[in-house]
Structures are given as structure tokens and as C-alpha cells.
């Protein structure tokens, strides 16, 4: 597929990294030649130096042959205008990054009037992920499928948990009732488990389940934690605004610490129910004065990764809060993993997942749709949800008789409003929403889970 990306900031770089690994032809557009060079020197992409809202620049970038156009500059208005021009100059689908909260209630209008295939808001998407773990803190990450009816819960296995040393087969009738284990990250290895697999301390595990069944599972683990009742957010940026808005709607007392006095006034006006503190969130005296130990949720969302990491480590040491850390650079993954930070949020990665899902849908035929897609364990595995539209080699055959790829697992079948944890006796049917996990491969339709 021919893809044009306008904007070579952090979001543009991550999107290019992910899409270039899937054999698309990518052209980047930016007015900053150094930004273009920084991306094209690392990834398989062409670069055009110029203004992304210039018709001539877009022609030079190949808009006439473009299939997908993505505008992710720092300006919402520039992104919308670029998509409008691209849509009229070519026959491409268009995606715009729109971050400003003033547009948050106008998304459907913008999509309709600008003929957008998708509107992406990285900060709001990240805020949604954080709010999920604050509402269900037993997991460090939660991915949603089927409109939230099925979820992928990620958790750490620790010494003393009743699953340690136990095989999936031994746990299936009791601990894992209504649950299917999808992936295990052990060291640098990602495993799609079979029945004889046994858990060990330090494993990172993902399970597919309804929230009710997941709650029962974590209760058996002895890891049930109620939703947080109060939360502190350090940093008063756009993501913090979206997060506070969500937390307040859920009845969670919310405190925001922000250094810029003018921004504090803005937040006080927009979020009258929140407690806004003017001060340096990295000041230990301030954190102690506010008694950080009394907070059940803590989110470090400043603009600096280093500050966020230090804040999170301090919060973990001096409180029992659910701690979330915003990290914009993930190229030091092994170092970050060693810090044991619990929940890590990267808005650029979340955005890339959404766009890759859309690109896969465009690449697939009409037999099934990619409803959801999540990259797992630094891209070593993927969880995808497909809506089966027509009969195919995967339908009407017992799962035990399907020749699945070695690292493919059918995790859930959602049919007629009910979640089915699949066994070898189950079959896939037209109309099903099916969640699959695949390791080490990219797939665009469900038939690709077969050998």
C-alpha cells in the first residue's frame, strides 16, 4: 500500500517504524529536513521536504497514487486541512491527529465534513488506558475487545502466587475457569502457551476474559484490588486533562500538580471538581506535604521521561498506589523493564496500533474485518479481533482439526452476546467476533492463522 505521512515528530516516527515493517511504501512530508533525515535514515521510507498543506508538495509526495494519508503534525488545524486537500487531490483514505479538547465533542462532525476515515487523539487514547487500570488495578495493562465485553488483562506473576509452578492443564478446571491464557513473557522470550506450560515467578502474563471472570481469577490469586478512590496526576498537559476528566466522571477524587500558574488557572476553569496544585511535582517536600502515601492512584505525566521515572519510583516506595508512568521513548526497553515500573504508557505506540489496525483492514479482503489490534510485548506478538463475514476454511471446522500456525491461538469467540472460551470442540461461525493471538507474524485476515 502507498502511504503518505505528514509530520515527522515522535508520533510520525513511531507510525513509520511500525508501518515500514509491514512492507508498505511510505513517503514522509515535513518542513524540517533534519527531521526527515532522522526518520528516513533509520526506516525504509522516502522523504519530501515541504509544507504538508501545500498541494504541490503533496503531488511531489505522490498523492495521486496514495492509498492512505496520515496527518500527525503538532497542529490540529494543519492536519485537518492537509487531509481535506489530500482527499480531494487523490482517492485516498485520510487520518488526522486531533488533540485539542475543544474538538473532543465534535469528532463525528469533523469526520463527516472533512471526509476523514479516522480521527486519532493520542492523549485521549492514553488517558483511556490509564483510567482502565485505575478502575481495575489488579492488572498493569488492559486491552479491550468487542466494545469492552472481552478484555485482555496483563499481570505480573510473583513468588507465592498459587499459579507458580502449576501447569495450565492442572489449573484449567478451577483457577482458569472462564479464562484463557494468551501470552507469557519470560525474559526476552514471548510464549504462546500449550496445556503443559507452567507459570513461574517474574512471568508477565496476559489472559482473555470478561471482567466478571477476571475478577474471580484475581480473587483466587489473592490479588484483588478495588478501584482507586483518589489519584494524583503530576503534570498538567493535555493527557492529564483528559485523564482527570475521565476519573472525575468515574467518581475518583483527582489532584493535579502543575508548575505553570497560567495552566493551573485553565485547568481550574475546565475541571472545577478537580483539585489543582501550583507547584513542582518533582519536589519531594511537596509530595510529602500532600502525603503521597494516602493516594491510591498516581500518574507521572510530565513532558520528561526522566522525571516521570523518578516520580514513579518514589511513589512506589512511599505509597501502595497504582502507579502509571508516561514514557515517550521506548528504545531503552530493557533498561525500563529492569526498573519494574508496573504500568507504562506511550501515546505514540497507542496511536500506531490504531493506525496499523486500519491499514490491515484496508489490506484485507471483504471476508473479515480487523476490529481491534494490539501489539504485545514490544511487537513480538499481536492480539487481533476479527469479525467473520463469510464462510471460509476456518469456519465450520472443529478447532482441534484446524492446522493452526505454531504460534497462533484462538482466545475468545463472541457469539450472540455471549463469550465462549474456546476448546477443541468449538467451531468458528459467520457472525462471530474472534480474538486471536499470533506470535512473530503479521496477519490481515483470520485465514492467515492457518499453516
Give the domain extent around 382.
Answer: 362-449
What confidence tens digit (pLDDT) does each residue in 129-188 have?
999 999 999 999 999 998 888 999 999 999 989 999 999 999 988 888 889 999 999 988
Same domain, 166 and 211: yes
| 316, 323 contact by CB (below 8 A) | yes
Residue 212 located in a structural domain: yes
Q: What pLDDT digit, counting tens, does each position of 238-292 carry?
A: 999 999 999 999 999 999 999 999 999 999 999 999 999 999 999 999 999 999 9
Whether residue 50 lies inside any domain: the answer is yes
| Whether residue 253 sits in one domain with residue 196 | no
Output the pTM of the full model: 0.90
**For residues 366-395, average pLDDT:** 86
What is the predicted pLDDT for the residue at 18? 85
Per-residue pLDDT band at 61 (split at 50, 70, 90)? very high
Return the pLDDT at 149. 87
Of the two residues 356 and 153, the one the predictor is more confident about is: 153
CA dist., res. 208 & res. 433, Å (int)? 14
In-domain check, residue 17: yes
Which of 120, 143, 162 is the last residue in one of the domains? 120
Residue 91: inside a domain:
yes
Cα–Cα distance, 281 to 366 (Å, whole number): 51
Q: Using the 8-state DSSP alphabet, how is residue 164 labeled? A: B
On whether both 96 and 179 belong to a single domain, the answer is no
Q: Considering the domain boundaries, does residue 354 fall inside one?
A: no
* Residue 356 covered by a domain: no
In a domain, 426, yes or no: yes
pLDDT band per the 50, 70, 90 thresholds, residue 367? low
Same domain membership, residue 263 and residue 211: no
Using CB atoms within 10 Å of the CB of residue 10, give its burial: 0 to 12 exposed, 13 to 18 middle, 19+ buried.
middle
- Give mean pLDDT, residues 363-373: 71
What whole-number distance in Å separates Cα of residue 186 and Cα of residue 316? 23
Phi, psi dihedral angles at 352 (to 5 degrees): -60, -40
Residue 332 has pLDDT above 70, yes or no: no
Domain count, the chain: 4
CB proximity list for 289: less than 8 A, separation 6 or greater = none
The CATH code of the domain that includes 420 is 3.30.70.1450
Residue 364 pLDDT grade (very low, low, confident, very high; cuts 50, 70, 90): low
Q: Which stretches within 304-344 are classed as H helix?
A: 305-318, 333-338
Q: Are residues 115 and 138 in the same domain?
A: no
Which pLDDT score, from 0 to 100, does residue 368 have?
Answer: 64
CA atoms within 13 A on the CB side of 378: 14
Give the domain-ending residue among 187, 204, 221: 221
If you average pLDDT over residues 65-85, what whole number do you get? 96
Judge contact between 138 and 224, C-beta under 8 A.
yes
- 134 with 208, same domain: the answer is yes
Q: What is the model's pLDDT at position 148?
A: 85
* Position 349 confidence tier, pLDDT thresholds 50, 70, 90: confident
Q: Kind of pairing, strands 322-326 and 297-300?
A: parallel
Side-chain-side CA neighbours of 395 within 13 Å: the count stands at: 16
Report the DSSP pairing between strands 68-71 and 204-209: unpaired
Q: Which pLDDT band, with edges at 50, 70 and 90, does 333 fall under?
A: low
pLDDT score of 365 more than 70: no
Tell me, yes or no, whether 389 and 331 share the same domain: no
238 and 214 in one domain?
no
Same domain, residue pair 170 and 94: no
Residues 105 and 54 in one domain: yes
Assess whether 41 and 92 both reside in one domain. yes
Q: Find the CATH number of the domain harbouring 37.
A: 3.40.50.720
Name every residue whose Cβ is closer than 8 Å to that of residue 342 and which is 6 or more positions away in sequence.
140, 156, 312, 316, 322, 323, 324, 325
| Same domain assignment for residues 105 and 175 | no
Angle of helix 10-20 relative to helix 347-363, nearest 10 degrees, comes to 40
In a domain, 352, yes or no: no
Sign of torsion over alpha carbons 131, 135, 139, 143:
negative
Residue that finishes a domain, picked among 120, 143, 178:
120
In order, the DSSP letters of 179-206 are -EEEEEEETTEEE---TT-BB-TT-EEE
Cβ atoms of residues 35 and 22 within 8 Å: no
Amino acid at each position: 500500500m502507498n502511504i503518505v505521512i505528514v509530520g515527522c515528530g515522535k508520533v510520525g516516527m513511531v507510525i513509520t517504524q511500525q508501518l515500514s515493517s509491514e512492507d508498505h511504501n511510505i513517503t514522509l512530508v515535513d518542513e524540517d529536513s533534519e527531521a526527515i533525515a532522522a526518520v528516513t535514515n533509520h526506516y525504509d521510507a522516502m522523504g519530501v521536504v515541504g509544507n504538508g498543506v501545500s498541494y504541490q508538495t503533496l503531488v511531489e509526495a505522490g498523492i495521486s497514487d496514495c492509498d492512505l494519508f496520515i496527518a500527525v503534525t503538532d497542529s490540529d488545524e494543519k492536519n485537518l486541512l492537509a487531509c481535506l486537500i489530500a482527499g480531494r487531490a487523490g482517492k485516498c483514505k485520510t487520518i488526522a491527529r486531533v488533540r485539542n479538547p475543544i474538538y473532543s465533542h465534535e469528532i463525528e462532525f469533523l469526520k463527516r465534513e472533512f471526509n476523514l476515515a479516522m480521527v486519532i487523539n493520542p492523549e485521549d487514547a492514553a488517558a483511556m488506558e490509564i483510567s482502565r487500570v485505575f478502575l481495575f488495578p489488579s492488572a498493569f495493562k488492559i486491552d479491550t475487545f468487542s466494545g469492552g465485553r472481552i478484555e485482555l488483562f496483563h499481570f505480573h506473576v510473583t513468588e507465592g502466587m498459587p499459579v507458580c509452578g502449576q501447569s495450565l492443564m492442572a489449573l484449567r478446571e478451577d483457577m482458569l475457569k472462564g479464562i484463557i491464557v494468551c501470552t507469557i513473557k519470560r525474559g526476552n522470550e514471548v510464549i504462546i502457551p500449550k496445556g503443559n506450560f507452567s507459570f513461574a515467578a517474574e512471568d508477565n502474563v496476559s489472559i482473555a476474559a470478561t471482567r466478571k471472570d477476571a475478577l474471580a481469577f484475581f480473587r483466587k490469586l489473592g490479588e484483588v484490588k478495588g478501584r482507586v478512590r483518589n489519584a494524583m496526576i503530576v503534570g498538567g498537559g493535555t493527557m492529564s486533562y483528559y485523564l482527570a476528566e475521565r476519573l472525575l466522571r468515574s467518581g475518583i477524587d483527582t489532584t493535579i500538580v502543575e508548575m505553570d500558574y497560567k495552566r493551573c488557572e485553565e485547568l481550574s476553569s475546565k475541571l472545577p471538581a478537580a483539585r489543582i496544585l501550583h507547584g513542582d511535582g518533582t519536589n519531594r517536600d511537596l509530595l510529602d506535604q500532600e502525603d503521597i502515601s494516602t493516594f491510591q492512584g498516581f500518574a507521572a505525566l510530565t513532558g520528561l521521561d526522566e522525571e516521570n521515572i523518578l516520580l514513579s519510583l518514589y511513589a512506589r516506595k512511599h505509597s501502595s498506589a497504582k502507579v502509571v508512568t508516561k514514557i515517550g521513548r521506548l528504545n531503552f526497553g530493557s533498561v525500563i523493564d529492569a526498573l519494574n515500573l508496573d504500568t507504562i504508557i506511550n501515546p505514540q505506540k497507542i496511536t500506531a496500533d490504531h493506525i496499523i489496525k486500519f491499514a490491515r483492514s484496508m489490506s484485507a479482503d471483504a471476508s473479515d474485518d480487523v476490529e481491534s489490534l494490539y501489539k504485545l510485548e514490544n511487537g513480538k506478538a499481536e492480539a487481533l479481533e476479527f469479525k467473520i463475514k463469510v464462510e471460509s476454511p476456518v469456519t465450520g471446522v472443529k478447532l482441534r482439526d484446524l492446522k493452526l500456525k505454531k504460534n497462533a491461538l484462538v482466545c475468545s469467540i463472541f457469539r450472540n452476546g455471549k463469550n465462549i472460551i474456546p476448546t477443541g470442540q468449538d467451531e468458528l461461525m459467520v457472525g462471530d467476533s474472534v480474538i486471536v493471538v499470533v506470535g512473530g507474524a503479521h496477519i490481515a485476515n483470520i485465514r492467515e492463522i492457518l499453516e
